[in-house]
């Protein structure tokens, strides 16, 4: 099936001289999600962290806002497109400065 593993990609980048390595500190987790069970474990981890910490992991709009790629107004527009969903409410809290990372 010609499936590549992350180590295959690392080796390709290394041989091309394009491999950049960064040690991930606390707050990072890596899951190999190659099986149904491991994918479920990863999903349960994300659900638990989001619920306990009141944050959304990898919210594209939040990431864009925090990096200055979209304005506060654009973030609010994105929140409004989500209606009264939990995600829309979350984006509104981000825009209001109620979700802050340190």
Q: From CA 68, how far away is CA 62, in angstroms rounded?
A: 10
Whether 41 is covered by a domain: the verdict is: yes
* Per-residue pLDDT, 36: 97
Whether 19 is covered by a domain: the verdict is: yes
| Residue range of the domain that includes 11 | 6-95
The total number of structural domains that make up the chain: 1
* Per-residue pLDDT, 88: 97
Whether 37 is covered by a domain: the verdict is: yes
* Per-residue pLDDT, 59: 96
What are the CA-CA distances from residue 55 to residues 35, 51, 58 (Å)? Answer: 26, 7, 9
pTM: 0.71
**Weakly modelled stretches of the chain, pLDDT under 70:** 1, 101-102
Query: Which residues have C-beta within 8 Å of that of residue 39, sequence separation ≥ 6?
Result: 33
Q: At what angle do helices 86-95 and 72-81 cross, to 10 degrees?
A: 170
* Per-residue pLDDT, 1: 67
* Per-residue pLDDT, 102: 59
């Amino acid at each position: 099936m010609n499936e590549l593993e992350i180590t295959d990609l690392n080796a390709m980048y290394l041989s091309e001289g394009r491999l950049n390595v960064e040690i991930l500190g606390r707050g990072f987790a890596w899951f190999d999600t190659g099986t149904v069970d491991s994918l479920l474990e990863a999903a349960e981890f994300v659900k638990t962290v989001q619920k306990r910490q009141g944050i959304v992991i990898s919210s594209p709009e939040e990431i864009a806002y925090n990096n200055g790629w979209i304005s506060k107004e654009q973030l609010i527009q994105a929140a409004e497109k989500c209606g009264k969903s939990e995600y829309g409410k979350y984006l509104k809290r981000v825009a209001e400065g109620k979700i802050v990372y340190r």
